[in-house]
Amino acid sequence: MARTRQIIALEEHYLDAEVKAHFSSLDAALPAPVLSRLEDVGQGRLADMDAAGIDVEVLSHAPPSLQRIDAESAVPLARRANDRLYETVRAHPLRFAAFAALPTADPKAAAEELERSVSRLGFKGAMIHGPSQGVFLDDKRFWPIFERAEALDVPVYLHPANPHPAVVEAYYRDYLKDYPSLLRAAWGFTVETATEAIRLVLSGLFEAYPRLQIILGHMGEGLPFYLWRITMGLARDGKGMNFRDVFCAHFHITTSGFFSHPALLSCLMEMGIDRILFSVDYPFVDNLAATKWLETLPLCAEDREKLLCGNAKRLLKL
Ligand code: ZN
Checking if the pLDDT of 307 tops 90, the result is yes
Contact between 230 and 267 (Cβ < 8 Å): no
CA separation (Å) from 171 to 64, 163, 164, 192, 213?
21, 10, 10, 12, 31
Q: How far is the CA of 254 from the centre of ligand 1 (A)?
A: 11
In angstroms, what CA-CA distances link 37 with 42, 64, 94, 213, 248?
10, 17, 20, 30, 34
pLDDT of residue 30: 84
Q: Is 2 within the bounds of a domain? A: no
Ligand 1 midpoint to CA 209 (Å): 26
Residue 38 clears pLDDT 80, i.e. is over it: yes
Residue-averaged pLDDT of the chain: 96
Instruction: Say if 116 falls within a structural domain.
Output: yes
Q: What is the pLDDT of residue 243?
A: 98
The per-residue pLDDT for range 131-143, each reduced to its tens digit, is 999 999 999 999 9
Cα 12 to ligand 1 centre (Å):
7
Cα-to-centroid distance, 3 and ligand 1 (Å):
27
Q: Report the CATH number that the domain containing residue 69 is assigned in CATH.
A: 3.20.20.140
Residue 71 in domain:
yes
What is the percent of the chain where pLDDT is above 70? 97
Q: What is the DSSP string of 166-186?
A: HHIIIIIGGGTTT-GGGGTTT
What percentage of the chain carries pLDDT values higher than 90?
95
Banded model confidence at residue 1, pLDDT cuts 50, 70, 90: very low
Considering its fold, how many domains does the chain have in total? 1
The string of pLDDT tens digits covering residues 110-155 is: 999 999 999 999 999 999 999 999 999 999 999 999 999 999 999 9
Residue 3, domain member (yes or no): no
Q: Would you call 281 a catalytic residue per the annotation?
A: yes
Give residue-wise pLDDT tens across range 230-255: 999 999 999 999 999 999 999 999 99
175 CA to middle of ligand 1, Å?
A: 23
Does 26 score more than 90 pLDDT?
no
Write down the pLDDT at residue 29: 75
1 domain residue, yes or no: no
**Which of the residues 16, 55, 281, 286 is marked catalytic?**
281
Domain containing residue 111: 8-316
Task: Answer whether residue 17 shows pLDDT above 70.
Answer: yes
